[in-house]
Structure 1
Amino acid sequence: MTTQPLRFLRRGQTTTLHNVPPDRTLLQVLREDLGACGTKEGCGEGDCGACTVVLAEPHSDKPGTLRYRAINSCIRLAHSIDGMALWTVEDIAPTLGIGVSSLHPAQEAMVQCHGSQCGFCTPGFVMSLFGMYQNSTCQGQPISRTDAQEALSGNLCRCTGYRPILDAAQAMEHLPAVRIDEATVLQQLELLALTAPAQSADFSYKSPRTLAELTAARAAYPQAQIVAGCTDVGLWVTKMHKHFDSVLDVTQVDELRQTIAHADYLQIGAAVTLHDAYTALVASRPQLHSFASRFAGLPVRNSGTLGGNVANGSPIGDSMPLLMALGATVVLASQRGERELPLEKLYTGYRQNVMAADEVLAWIKVPHAGAEFMRVYKISKRFDDDISAICLALSLTTVDGIVTAASIGVGGVAATPVRAVQTQTALVGQPWSLATAHAAAAALRAEFQPISDMRASAAYRSEVMGNLLQRFWLESQGETQINLATFDVEACA
């Protein structure tokens, strides 16, 4: 079974590849087909960042400019970048003349700040720095230490050389500027779109542009593997060695790439990236910022989509507990129409859901923020770029000291993400007091029977759930010196 030609921009030229299998990764294409071995293969699961490259598309919110995203090429399917511009570590040095090139500020800063040790991770760090440079420095925005830490959260250095790499991130703006001719790249991307070959009747990798095309393809090929960023399906390819003859990619569907604010709710398309989806949520709920940045490293958030995370239904997926606590609903679409249901009603078992064979997840609807007090907690072995052992999201509304509404989502304690219905019931109608918090903590510990696995024991998970509810109580009372994120050493001296 053949595929459509894969076409993308690299080094100012169109690269065209034929007969690329639908489940071939971008990293495989770069290293094995194009000989671009500067992009390293490390973990093969989007964890270490050694394979980081940068993609660019026209910026939907800023016409006439490009939007740059650092992504993990090891778990990104190659066909998903069709029609985009790509940069690898070999591509960013400016050419000064025939056979003569200099270093890009991202590279020069790493040299000057001694940011490379063994060097294996260095290309990935350089590409994350390049993405920062294009999105921040070239826009006249200085890079703070916090900005650098968040943007580099998806890149791991096994030599523990983070301090000079963070120095390099801040040093880039002080070096001679190097700018991409975005007008030319945009013209080339437009030409690439206009000269795209007609969609083949042969189904191997389909990337519909409209919801109507998507639902038609889903009805015609219900056996196709749906991908929406591929940050989980990519692991099935690299770690489980699964093979897919047909792939249906939802990330280019125009309607599903939009975030729309309605009067009562925020409508997030299933193809909106995790980074953009959380940016929209944080805009009205600033307290979610830390959790959003810890959801995963930036390259994962740049590829993964909110709809993909929700539809995947992993019991340790972090989006679902939060969305449940927010009272989110999901809209499923097919050629037969649409239907809407509460998020918690989507799941029927481990990675199983109520979607029919011809349905796709189209939108997530999140009610606007009200007067509730809300927190979401992620407990993992590593602070950044790690999978949760427990994820707990709590939203509480009180009137005159009495709990009038409670909404709690939990991950990591059952076969699916779940709502803590019994604990919610125990809270509503009670005075919001320390005694109520203790009673609710006990109810939460008793409500679920988590398993023991490589991330945590069952006893640990149960104990931590209750402890987090008590932390929630303390934070509702204005306490701040209770976790490392807000701990002030000087204040306690």
Structure 2
Amino acid sequence: MSTEPAVGPGAAVTVNGAARALVGARPPLTALDWLRGVGLTGAKEGCAEGECGACAVLVARPGTDAATEWTAINSCLVPAAALAGQEVVTAEGLGTPSALHPVQRELAVRGGSQCGYCTPGFVCSMAAEYYRPGRTAFDHHALSGNLCRCTGYRPIVEAADALGAPGADDPLASRTTAPPPAVPPHAEPGWVRPAGLDDALALLARPGAVAVAGSTDLGVEANLRGSRPTLLVAVDRLDELRGLSVGADVVEIGAALTLSEVERRLAGRIPLLDAVFPQFASRLIRNGATFGGNLGTGSPIGDLAPALLALDADLVLVGPAGERTVPLTSFFTGYRRSVRQPGELIARVRVPLPQAATTSFQKIAKRRFDDISSVAIAFAVDVDPDARVVRRAAIGLGGVAATPIRATAAEQALVGAAWTPKGVAPAAAVLARAGTPLDDHRASAAYRRAMLGQALPRLLAEEPGAGTS
């Protein structure tokens, strides 16, 4: 089998119900620029890094039951080539001036738009939530990745809350009863969507080849820093990387699953990850960002790594020589460096069971949501229910060293300590000295150390039934 599909004149993509030839989709052309180039100018470029949501569009993706789920994504980050074979709806495809979509109508009658620049993005994010299976109330987190500089959020939220259920004759609602289109192998110059994992690994063995999934990191690098990999290998639809299983002693999470998919499919089985999800960027980003991509970038300020470190997670790496398992504690070797070899992919994340009884994720950032952490602290603690002393502790940290780290000295100081403010004080002092925090535009080193020092008292204060002396 060839490792690379033949490069053709352009595959088809369904946009607003009509097939269009995806011509000239060579990276770094983004989905946003391609859509605007064919005359669909509702989606805008505001920030080019997935923070403002002005570029949001809907894509038909598989839901938890394999039926279509309309998913809002940042089109400014996704390569245009990634649209091949897919089904996309823009704000223009939702309604017209004479026949407004319910989302558009509510925004209009409730004064949810002034200059209008951000409105198409709000419309698409709201529509994704409008069509969410099982929705009984509007989840305002669906709009956490959309920014408005002039309207004010009250009328936008009021418009969202006024939305009822889709009508029986709504074609986009009816579309959710059938599977989304299968994503075919496809190639453009500089871009390949391989047919399977073996083909992907063969392509990644080429010099300069880079794996891409949701493109929430790589898209920023391309837009703002001019990154131009020789070859992008799309791994987001590889079945081998998209499984999720819950066993008696381990949970395995496919590396190509997005955070939104994992959140839905885990359904609360890992409370520490449930604490991370709403604080990880925005819904628009979580709809694209994958577990493997977030860990593979090796960022010291990624929010997943501290939580997975506290959960004692392992990574299953796959490459030409087969699979190998690496503890996450041994994965990172330096700033944005890891033990992953050229040509290897993260295939799965393995979280052992049972989990600690007490878990917590503390994210310190300048904004409550949709922001990069200054410090991230994840706890997994077991306390003897009778003696009220700590039996086991795992603490994952981000933002205080060149890599995500485990606070091993603080963990050792905490084990055997009384689960009271006085009892944990020595361990809190040790935790305040963890890592090698730096001064930067997000926070000073002194502030980061102060936040580390307050993390254990804060955890204890939030724990029901904890001691008070």
**Separation in 2 of the partners of 1:367 and 1:216?**
31
Question: Structure 1 residues 157, 171: CA separation in 2 closer, same or farther (over 3 Å shift)?
Answer: same
Aligned twin of 2:359: 374
Q: Which amino acid aligns with 2:230?
A: D
**Separation in 1 of the partners of 2:405 and 2:355?**
23
Q: Which amino acid aligns with 1:213?
A: D
| CA-CA distance at 1:358 after TM superposition | 2.0
Of 305, 313, 317, 1:320 maps to: 305
Question: Structure 1 residues 369, 87: CA separation in 2 closer, same or farther (over 3 Å shift)?
Answer: farther
**Separation in 2 of the partners of 1:382 and 1:181?**
34
Question: Structure 1 residues 185, 317: CA separation in 2 closer, same or farther (over 3 Å shift)?
Answer: closer
Of 243, 257, 262, 1:258 maps to: 243
Conserved 8 A contact 1:117-1:161 = no
| CA-CA distance at 1:166 after TM superposition | 1.0
| CA-CA distance at 1:171 after TM superposition | 1.4
Question: Structure 1 residues 450, 184: CA separation in 2 closer, same or farther (over 3 Å shift)?
Answer: closer
Conserved 8 A contact 1:267-1:365 = yes
Aligned twin of 1:72: 74
Aligned twin of 1:218: 204
Aligned twin of 2:252: 267
1:16 counterpart = 2:21 = yes
Aligned twin of 2:144: 153
Question: Structure 1 residues 114, 237: CA separation in 2 closer, same or farther (over 3 Å shift)?
Answer: same
Aligned twin of 1:62: 65
Conserved 8 A contact 1:83-1:189 = no
**Partner deviation per Cα, 1:204-251 (whole Å, 9 max, x = no partner):** 2112242222222223x2421221211111111110022233101110
**Separation in 2 of the partners of 1:228 and 1:175?**
31
Of 87, 104, 118, 1:121 maps to: 118
Residue 93 of structure 2: SS of its match in structure 1?
coil
1:103 counterpart = 2:94 = no
**Separation in 1 of the partners of 2:16 and 2:293?**
31
Aligned twin of 2:315: 330
| CA-CA distance at 1:21 after TM superposition | 1.2
**Partner deviation per Cα, 1:265-312 (whole Å, 9 max, x = no partner):** 111111000112234456124465453112111010001101100111
Aligned twin of 2:412: 425
Aligned twin of 2:42: 38
Q: Which amino acid aligns with 2:346?
A: L
Give the unaligned 5+ runs of structure 1.
95-99, 480-493
**Separation in 1 of the partners of 2:189 and 2:177?**
29
**Separation in 2 of the partners of 1:244 and 1:287?**
35
Residue 45 of structure 2: SS of its match in structure 1?
coil
**Separation in 1 of the partners of 2:354 and 2:194?**
33
**Partner deviation per Cα, 1:51-103 (whole Å, 9 max, x = no partner):** 111100343x324x311110111111112222211011111117xxxxx8400
What is the aligned-residue RMSD (CA, Å)?
Answer: 2.4
Aligned twin of 1:163: 154
Conserved 8 A contact 1:22-1:245 = no
1:90 counterpart = 2:95 = no
| CA-CA distance at 1:174 after TM superposition | 6.9
Aligned twin of 1:436: 423
Question: Structure 1 residues 58, 458: CA separation in 2 closer, same or farther (over 3 Å shift)?
Answer: closer
Conserved 8 A contact 1:208-1:252 = no
Aligned twin of 1:482: none
Q: Which amino acid aligns with 1:166?
A: V
| CA-CA distance at 1:113 after TM superposition | 1.4
Return the TM-score normalized by structure 1. 0.87
| CA-CA distance at 1:447 after TM superposition | 2.2
User: How many residue pairs are counted as aligned between the two chains?
Assistant: 459
Conserved 8 A contact 1:328-1:343 = yes
**Separation in 2 of the partners of 1:342 and 1:34?**
47
**Separation in 1 of the partners of 2:268 and 2:427?**
30
**Partner deviation per Cα, 1:353-409 (whole Å, 9 max, x = no partner):** 111112111110112343521101111111111111110001111223222211000
**Separation in 2 of the partners of 1:187 and 1:173?**
22
**Partner deviation per Cα, 1:384-437 (whole Å, 9 max, x = no partner):** 111111100011112232222110000000011111111111112222222232
**Separation in 1 of the partners of 2:180 and 2:358?**
45
**Partner deviation per Cα, 1:470-491 (whole Å, 9 max, x = no partner):** 1011122448xxxxxxxxxxxx
| CA-CA distance at 1:345 after TM superposition | 0.8
Q: Which amino acid aligns with 2:391?
A: T
| CA-CA distance at 1:256 after TM superposition | 0.9
Identity among equivalent pairs (%): 39
Q: Which amino acid aligns with 1:218?
A: L
Aligned twin of 1:134: 131
TM alignment of 1:352-371, pairs within 5 A: 352-371=337-356
